[in-house]
Structure 1
Amino acid sequence: MRIGVVTFPGSLDDVDAARAVRLAGAEAVALWHADHDLRGVDAVVLPGGFSYGDYLRAGAIAARAPMMADVVDRARRGMPVLGICNGFQVLCEAGLLPGALTRNGHLHFRNRDQALRVERADTAWTNAYEPGQEVVVPVKNGEGRYVAAPADLDRLEGEGLVAVRYAGGNPNGSLRDIAGVSSADGRVVGLMPHPEHAVEDLTGPSTDGLGFFTSVLTAVVAA
């Protein structure tokens, strides 16, 4: 199975994401932001970092990169896409996920190990977990506060589109402790914490993040 990892100018965690893909048992395929070629991948990961220097808004320019036109088209036809941190911002800016990510409520950068509760365990990226399961993965962001209009938040809750939620403290002031959301079909997921940094015992803080990458293998086979 081939999973693409897109590199934008300013990406920081593309190498880590590719390693997580390999540890999950898939082939990591490097994708370049300026290309129009998904190279036959079965799924795509948009990694963390500071794409295009976070000019305008975090993820705003990256969402309009040539590669994203192909990602958006394939995602709307069912290809699984995971956006991590800056990748989550890109997915929101591209219109694949609702809401927006803004400056942390306390205006400080946060970098710490973070407990999360898996709210939806039937997505392409979370099916390896149990509903309500708590995992620990790092969080590191300055613009990670998830916001949406009250009616949109109610819709997200009512339709079960909150994928993961902060547990044991909210690091950035995200509304309703939302750490990640999914599309209605569960094929597109974005989250602010970094599961790719929690895939090996050597580097820790756990291997809890590996399930995001093994989940998509199951989803692609089942599709």
Structure 2
Amino acid sequence: MRWAVIVFPGSNCDDDAVAAITRATGDEVVKVWHQERDLRPYDAIVLPGGFSYGDYLRCGAIARFSPVMAAVRAEAEAGKLVLGICNGFQILTEAGLLPGALVRNHHLQFRCEMAELVVENDRSPFTSLYRRGERVRIPIAHGEGRYIADEAVLDELARAGRIAFTYAADVNGSARRIAGVLNERGNVLGLMPHPERAVAAWMGSEDGLRMFAAIHRAVEEGVHVG
């Protein structure tokens, strides 16, 4: 299969994502500049972390208007798997592909540290190689990672099993300690922690490998989402 890792001006985790996907799957991975308008040649799409457009206005607020985002939306609507990591998650919420928003951490500090996550959904194409209730170690690196949404939205996310991961401890003030959410169809995942930085023992964790491996398996097996 072929992966697209979207690169915006200010992305800085694109090479990390390419290396992690290659390590986990051995698949072909292509870095795609944000001005590309056609993502049909790719089987899965990753929006990596970084500081797209310098985080001016709000994180992800300008990147949502990049030409590639129309293609991301089209492929998501066609059922392809889309993963947004950190800034990628912020972009997906700004673009309306995921509910809620990411705002300043409640302590107003940038945090770069290993975080313990709880797997809340093990039935999605992104999480099928984890176990529900399992605790995994995935690092965070964000200053604006506090997830917020209306209570009705939070209730619906919980009811529908669309909360993919929560933080085991409160690291940024996120509502209900949410670390990652799925869209209604289940083929778009956004999460603030960085699975691409947890793929080798020397990194302190290899728990991120299974996320990329799960995506690979879902695509190879032709899993239909939605």
TM-score range, shorter chain: over 0.9
* Structure 1 segment 1-223 matched on structure 2, within 5 A: 1-25=1-25, 26-38=27-39, 40-167=41-168, 169-202=169-202, 204-223=203-222
Alpha carbons 1:124, 1:188 under 8 Å: kept: no
CA spacing shift, 1:144–1:193, aligned 2, 3 Å: same
Report the Cα distance in structure 2 between the residues aligned to 1:66 and 1:93, rounded to whole angstroms: 14
Point out the more displaced range, 139-148 or 54-63: 54-63
> What secondary structure is seen at the aligned counterpart in 2 of 1:18?
helix
Report the Cα distance in structure 1 between the residues aligned to 2:78 and 2:158, rounded to whole angstroms: 24
Moved beyond 2 Å, runs of 4+: none
> What secondary structure is seen at the aligned counterpart in 2 of 1:190?
strand
Alpha carbons 1:118, 1:165 under 8 Å: kept: yes
Alpha carbons 1:138, 1:205 under 8 Å: kept: no
Listed one character per residue, the Cα deviations across residues 31-57 of structure 1 (whole Å, up to 9, x for unaligned) are 110121326110000000000011111
- The code of the aligned residue for 2:172 comes to N
- CA positional deviation for 1:130: 1.0
> What secondary structure is seen at the aligned counterpart in 1 of 2:132?
coil
Report the Cα distance in structure 1 between the residues aligned to 2:88 and 2:125, rounded to whole angstroms: 16
Report the Cα distance in structure 2 between the residues aligned to 1:200 and 1:172, rounded to whole angstroms: 26
Alpha carbons 1:122, 1:186 under 8 Å: kept: no
Report the Cα distance in structure 1 between the residues aligned to 2:214 and 2:185, rounded to whole angstroms: 15
TM-score, normalised to structure 1's length? Answer: 0.97
Alpha carbons 1:118, 1:134 under 8 Å: kept: yes
> What secondary structure is seen at the aligned counterpart in 1 of 2:19?
helix
Unpaired runs of 5+ residues, structure 2, are: none
Report the Cα distance in structure 2 between the residues aligned to 1:92 and 1:175, rounded to whole angstroms: 15
Report the Cα distance in structure 2 between the residues aligned to 1:38 and 1:149, rounded to whole angstroms: 32
Unpaired runs of 5+ residues, structure 1, are: none
- The code of the aligned residue for 1:5 comes to V
Q: Quote the RMSD (CA, aligned, Å).
A: 0.9
TM-score, normalised to structure 2's length? Answer: 0.95
- CA positional deviation for 1:79: 0.6
Report the Cα distance in structure 2 between the residues aligned to 1:77 and 1:29, rounded to whole angstroms: 20
- CA positional deviation for 1:98: 0.5
Listed one character per residue, the Cα deviations across residues 172-204 of structure 1 (whole Å, up to 9, x for unaligned) are 1000000000012221000000000000112x1
- The code of the aligned residue for 1:47 comes to P
- CA positional deviation for 1:222: 2.4
Report the Cα distance in structure 2 between the residues aligned to 1:39 and 1:21, rounded to whole angstroms: 19
